[in-house]
Amino acid sequence: MTQQQSATLPASKFASLDELDEDAGNVLGIINYTTGAADPDTSRGHLRLDIHMAHGDSDSFSEVWTTDLPVESGESGGIAYAHDGEHLLCAGRIPPGDGYASGTRAAYARTLELMAELGYHHCARMWNFVNRINEDNADGLEIYRDFCKGRAEAFEAHRFNDSSVPAATGIGSLGGGIAFYVLASRTGALTPLENSKQVSAYHYPEQYGPRPPKFARATHLSVPGLDSASGQIYVSGTSSIRGHETLFAGDVEKQTLLALENVAHLIGPDTLSHHRIDQRSTLADLDTIKVYVRNHDDIPAVRRICEEHFSPDAQVAYLNVDVCRADLSVELEGIVR
Ligand code: 3HB
């Protein structure tokens, strides 16, 4: 990738909390995967969001988004944001409650409005961290399904059709209701990618909830006018699902291998050429990878399998949290740069 191309695509990396320079001039946002939750904040001139995803200091880390351009930040209707004219990072939080659909609908609606107001129409990636994800709300609906309902309603109200939904993660967290953050681009060329071996999540049948999870399996973001081989691929949270069904329930090793196979197919030659993207990627090109593991004791086995497939230079974080379906033990995501 040339200097000129990379300057206009988003940059992120993982940093440990003690090596972080929060006041460095070129920060767009810092997402702390940490031991407590806090409302998103922009008091230091960039976006900061603390998500309760770590059990202690040893599994805490920060995801740092940087830019070459001057950053402006603000807050509107409970959504905090930072942007540089090319990329927008924004975040919100829905406090703990008996139900989440209406809070999710309102927060997502405000986020979509804000994106439109600020001129960032290409929504590349959303991350959603849902406390008590597999537990029921006050009406007996699983909280993940409740969240999906509110999200689908917000997308529908804003005429966000299935072909414009972003890549996403919807994963458990250790507290704080629902936290989310979003990456959008002003001029980037965005292509949603689907996996031919999986039913698109937005077409899942009703057995998985009243409204399907609205997300793309990945998005490809490139600089308009330059060849599409220069782009980045944002891979959504990916698990052991074929068609729409969970495979290998109870076998974390097989679930890890199938999740990896799904990602390999998604970023591989068949999928990319089908989407007219002139790029070839393998699991070794994936970076800033998050691997979510339901049972702490499974982490060593999952790590061993992942290390056989990822580049030794890739940044990989292992997080011990619940996954969106009770029969899934592992999920992973990353970015091809
Ligand atoms: C989501 O609902 O946004 C989602 C859930 C997953 C994986 C990816 C996205 O388990």
Rounded to two decimals, what is the model's pTM? Answer: 0.96
For residue 42, the model assigns a pLDDT of 97
Q: How far is CA 119 from CA 28, 83, 86, in A?
A: 17, 11, 9
Q: Tell me the pLDDT tens digit for each residue of 283-322.
A: 999 999 999 999 999 999 999 999 999 999 999 999 999 9
Task: Out of 128, 203, 319, give the residue to mutate to test ligand 1, the one with the largest number of ligand atoms within 8 Å of its CB.
Answer: 128
Q: Tell me the pLDDT tens digit for each residue of 55-88.
A: 999 999 999 999 989 999 999 999 999 999 999 9
**pLDDT classification of 261: cutoffs 50, 70, 90:** very high
Q: Tell me the pLDDT tens digit for each residue of 5-37.
A: 444 788 999 999 778 777 776 899 999 999 999
Q: Which residues pair with residue 246 across a beta bridge?
A: 241
Average pLDDT in the 114-121 region? Answer: 97
Q: Which domains are seen in the chain, by residue range? A: 11-336 (3.30.1330.40)
For residue 7, the model assigns a pLDDT of 46
Catalytic choice (142, 194, 331, 333): 331
For residue 3, the model assigns a pLDDT of 37
* Percentage above 70 pLDDT, the chain: 96
CA–centroid distance, 203 to ligand 1, in Å, is 13
Q: Would the CB of 213 count as within 6 Å of ligand 1?
A: yes
CA–centroid distance, 229 to ligand 1, in Å, is 26
CA–centroid distance, 125 to ligand 1, in Å, is 11
Q: Tell me the pLDDT tens digit for each residue of 199-241.
A: 999 999 999 999 999 999 999 999 877 666 779 999 999 999 9
331 is an active site residue: yes
Q: Would the CB of 168 count as within 6 Å of ligand 1?
A: yes
Instruction: Report the mean per-residue pLDDT for the chain.
Output: 94
Instruction: Work out which ligand 1 atom sits closest to the CA atom of 213.
Output: 2
